[in-house]
Structure 1
């Protein structure tokens, strides 16, 4: 429920003032160029000049000009003086404080900046516009704050704010990425905007500066040269905003220094400080609010504000795009809910899980199945229900999606009276500590119902993997006795553009064990790739890609480890290839499964053909980082096609240790998770010392290995495995 409140608040604030936020962002982008332009003009003072004392500066000015009216360091970091030159001309000029020379003449603000400033500040509506702009700043601040809360909830807590983000779609991914990095500039922009608006409407306490000067007791002696005034000698230009010079030689006229934190009145004859007024906190906040809000005086900060405004524009676009995408998937139910024998309940936060559930629903309808699809929060009495299939995502730290957060209560209020079978499919990401937790909560609740029977064990899908989804479809297809054919295009996923690869080598038939072989390819179009990337292959008349983890050899060829399946279309296609044959395929970057650049040790865990990407990683281990390989197969013969290569890499010191587990031997059956358990202390030390574990192979193996690793982490390190995964110490590519 709380998730919905924050999400609707976030969306509501954005919708309420979207037009004004859009205007503020666009005008902010334009105005960010004004201070940049001023700095580029090269009239700003140097760091050396900032260290110069007021005494030296005034002495230089008095020597260079007949009269000096005022001198200031403006918000653009320029020294601006109002002087009377030796030619008798009264001028306002940019000067070099070190020698007093004129370095430029101020120009009028460009009309575009004047016009944009008025629009940005008041929308040309005077006080009404000022009020709207101030309110807009407040709403934008609230949007930023609710956005922070949503990111924290999504990532699993405040401490995970900057942890890895799961990329469901580009809009969602970059909305969060940019939101995290532009958070501070946006908060500064909005808070300073709010403060300046409150100040404009006199809603803040204000203290008037009144000089306490006893004119009757102003001293005329001892007369001191201005360069010897102690106050002037102790103040540097970096602390000066403005200096007002005396109008005459009259003793009652004086110097006024406006510093960053106070104002001083100086006797022009003796140099004595005759009044000192420290600025109240409100005045200091006002000054720095203006500087921070406008970016004056710093090209770097102006560029940051420019990027922040561009970010706000993107947030408006991506936020509304995500909202529309959640609404875009229309559920069509030709079968009424009380006539449906198969009820599909979906829990989806960003819309991805709903797309997968809806594609499954439509495929059932094509097969004349009496299917009904609805959100988990719309659960009620389904009188004809025989089979219940729940497809749900998990949000953030194990929470229910916003359209499923009432289900666990609803099913208690409306228990299913008749006997029924159920199955649960969970979508989530292993980057989060509570992977698919809500799906497991639903499963547990359904198991406890008296009339329920679990037809299929709970399945989970990591990062919306289409391959894992396809495996589940095959399983549920057998269960429902229907033929399901869902392709990527049905989910809005476009087919990749393929290129040509030439076959260099393939394991000869007589050397193949367990129908496994190595295929070496060369890209005819010089495609770039790395070990750990994927090779996508499309059968004829089928948009469903088959993905294979690949290795990059030292000779820049591509190596794939393939297991031939009797009914496997693609594996048989690859098995029939011969040297010099051409294969059309596509490279799919998989940056999250590349060999770590900074690791003091790496452990690679694989079963069967999952060893494929590790072959290239080991061969290209130029820094000789210690690598241990754990591999599981049927028997020792299964390892034969990799053995020579592995032994060679060991002798070259690119691989330190190899541990094998065989599950089909006459003696004790061993699995890779058994080997890991036997070396629990070594694995704990590896993670504690910032080592990296990489896993590639079957999902079944992955689940068992993760259970063992999580147990080791909790017992030995007192932390969950997810802690190390979020630090990039656990990399996985399983299928």
Structure 2
């Protein structure tokens, strides 16, 4: 719901809020220039009557004296038939120069207040301010939920580069933007008298006694008021002997007889007047210019929000599968919820959707994160969760369990998990979902079923069981949705490990010369490659298969190549294909961001731990350590003579201090060992780095990762620390296969 509100509001009001933000940022400079150009009015130092007397002696026909919100005194006057205005010194009343705001400033002011469209524009601008309130608050709540609550608001923001920019800058500017938009909304409402501004209006019924007028310096009612309390003093019209002075102060509006100097009427401001002045000061910075500059600086981030937000929405929109005849949430009888990381589970969801629709059901198929939507006519729910990594939720189901807690409905439900039996936590997320539904009392339509390696046969058998449970004839024929791929050409390879029966290759791919991207594109962009960073995932579909295999990336797209480190697995279809690939050979691939496995921002040490081909992304992190952040790399191989991967590059990184320390362990040499043994030897040093905020990143085989966790637990426990806490804080992250 929050994401929908945020997205719809942002898309609808993007241009409007950008115009308001940029014009407001430009105007935020004005209070500074006024503060620098005009002396401040000091409380208790000057009477209004004394200053008005000096001004009237210099300008025989004064119209009004105004003290602006920033404290500048401006005199408007007539000189014959022409009008003028000047800034005056509050101490002496001497003219400091003409008061003539530039045409550009007036235009920007009108643009900001009314979009140059008069009263209609003022209403639209007010709606823009309200839209910014909605965007800021919904964005803040989404960020809070993503990071784990307000207490975690300073945690590193994870996601794609676009998401990190969008959320990271939002975290820095949300308070200022919320203040600007709330005050702007209030002022717009006050303009149309929907909320009171508290200001009093001068009485129109009172007239002076007429006769000769006192010199303004002798008017007792003006002599009794301090200049610091002035808002505006309007002089009587010279041609009307009964006209009066109209004095507006912080307390109210007075009419003063020009002949006697006595107060004829006084209308006090309502209680809301001071509040409105405070709101005005907060919004404009008038009278508080440092705040105005801060708000203006924050407003310059709004165009970046609009651009990154639109791109994030567009990528999400493009990635969302389309289902012809997808029923609305209000009318659907059967709800299919899909949790997919790489997109393959959507192919099975499409087959299920089509078969149920053909059987006469009104079906709605959406991501699992849509569980919070109201489904008033739903009779059942079918949930298809894939498992990502070590039993965790895929991106489209990341909020499912949290939203499940807030639901009142309890529908008959069936859970069909997708996974790979080679992993110990086969369909681990599906197990978690099923247990959560059971614990909350959801009736079971079918017992939990698990699909291994996207088996179409197992899916068809589950469809038969579902048909029996529903009393429908279902014939499910599906294959995994094949991701959109691009071709890459092998341009470099380095082979290791044949002597120790662990053949491993470092493979570098580039965009083929005959790709759809021409030479001009490759000149502007790194070989035409899509966006990726070390630690992201490349999916490769080997010939004769529709099932992708995944490899961690050792390079970033700005390196000009896509680089992976691959060990040849016995009977491994894709690894054998890659090891047999000659230079010039091609692969079909796609990129899957893996933002969770990435160094967090900051200067705290990084501890990188890996074994075998798991060194790939760790070298990538080290390669791009331009800031010289402390990096300690622990890596295990078999024999330094045959499979010391990246040896030359790591030596260079040590020399130029991109790598602080390298600790290796080789298991096939006398006196050798494993990487967890090196960690145990350096336990005291590791504990010191962890206390200083170090982040630990682990990549490699599951057996190695289990040994590393046990070793680290043994190091942490005597110090009162534990690995679970580090994981919760994002300071221990593993990419394990």
Report the TM-score, using the length of structure 2 for normalisation: 0.60
Contact 2:74 2:99 in 1 (8 A): no
SS in 1 for 2:615: helix
Query: What is residue 470 of structure 2 aligned with on the other side?
Result: none
Contact 2:534 2:621 in 1 (8 A): yes
Is 1:629 the equivalent of 2:623? Answer: no
SS in 2 for 1:690: coil
Query: What is residue 49 of structure 1 aligned with on the other side?
Result: 38
SS in 1 for 2:272: helix
SS in 1 for 2:432: helix
Of 685, 692, 699, 1:689 maps to 692
Is 1:613 the equivalent of 2:617? Answer: yes
Residues 266-277 of structure 1 aligned to structure 2 (within 5 Å): none
SS in 2 for 1:104: coil
CA displacement at 1:655 relative to structure 2: 4.6
CA displacement at 1:243 relative to structure 2: 4.6
Cα distance 1:722–1:549, how it changes in 2: closer, same or farther (>3 A)?
A: farther
Contact 1:516 1:561 in 2 (8 A): yes
Query: What is residue 348 of structure 2 aligned with on the other side?
Result: 360
Contact 1:196 1:289 in 2 (8 A): no
Report the TM-score, using the length of structure 1 for normalisation: 0.60
Contact 1:256 1:263 in 2 (8 A): yes
Cα distance 1:69–1:619, how it changes in 2: closer, same or farther (>3 A)?
A: closer
CA deviations on 1:174-230 (whole Å, 9 max, x unpaired) are 59975985565346534653576368557659585999xxx9xxxx99x9999xx99
Query: What is residue 401 of structure 2 aligned with on the other side?
Result: 399
State which drifts further: 693-702 or 480-489. 480-489
Contact 1:60 1:100 in 2 (8 A): no
Contact 1:255 1:266 in 2 (8 A): yes
Contact 1:398 1:438 in 2 (8 A): no
Is 1:507 the equivalent of 2:495? Answer: yes
Alignment partners' CA distance in 2, 1:185 and 1:652? 43
Residues 720-735 of structure 1 aligned to structure 2 (within 5 Å): 721=724, 726=729, 729-730=731-732, 732-735=734-737
Is 1:93 the equivalent of 2:93? Answer: no
SS in 1 for 2:506: strand
Cα distance 1:445–1:28, how it changes in 2: closer, same or farther (>3 A)?
A: closer
Question: Structure 2: which 5+ runs fail to align?
Answer: 204-208, 328-333, 388-392, 421-426, 462-476, 514-521
Contact 1:693 1:729 in 2 (8 A): yes
CA displacement at 1:564 relative to structure 2: 1.9
Contact 1:725 1:731 in 2 (8 A): no
Alignment partners' CA distance in 1, 2:336 and 2:677? 37
Query: What is residue 442 of structure 1 aligned with on the other side?
Result: 434
CA displacement at 1:514 relative to structure 2: 0.8
Cα distance 1:161–1:322, how it changes in 2: closer, same or farther (>3 A)?
A: farther
Query: What is residue 474 of structure 1 aligned with on the other side?
Result: 453
Alignment partners' CA distance in 1, 2:623 and 2:234? 74
Alignment partners' CA distance in 1, 2:642 and 2:731? 29
Contact 2:489 2:584 in 1 (8 A): no
State which drifts further: 526-535 or 627-636. 526-535
Contact 2:255 2:266 in 1 (8 A): yes
Contact 2:343 2:481 in 1 (8 A): no
Contact 1:172 1:322 in 2 (8 A): no
Contact 2:31 2:70 in 1 (8 A): no
Contact 2:499 2:642 in 1 (8 A): no
CA displacement at 1:611 relative to structure 2: 0.9
Cα distance 1:171–1:563, how it changes in 2: closer, same or farther (>3 A)?
A: closer
CA displacement at 1:359 relative to structure 2: 1.4
Of 486, 489, 495, 2:485 maps to 495
Cα distance 1:356–1:623, how it changes in 2: closer, same or farther (>3 A)?
A: closer
CA displacement at 1:610 relative to structure 2: 0.8
Q: What CA RMSD, in Å, does the superposition of the two structures yield over aligned residues?
A: 7.1
CA deviations on 1:233-279 (whole Å, 9 max, x unpaired) are x85xxx8644556889xxx999987567888999999x9x9999997
Contact 1:546 1:570 in 2 (8 A): no
CA deviations on 1:468-509 (whole Å, 9 max, x unpaired) are xxxx852757977999853543xxxx434x565632x52378
Question: Structure 1: which 5+ runs fail to align?
Answer: 1-6, 124-129, 334-343, 417-421, 428-434, 457-471
Alignment partners' CA distance in 1, 2:135 and 2:574? 49
Alignment partners' CA distance in 2, 1:450 and 1:674? 48
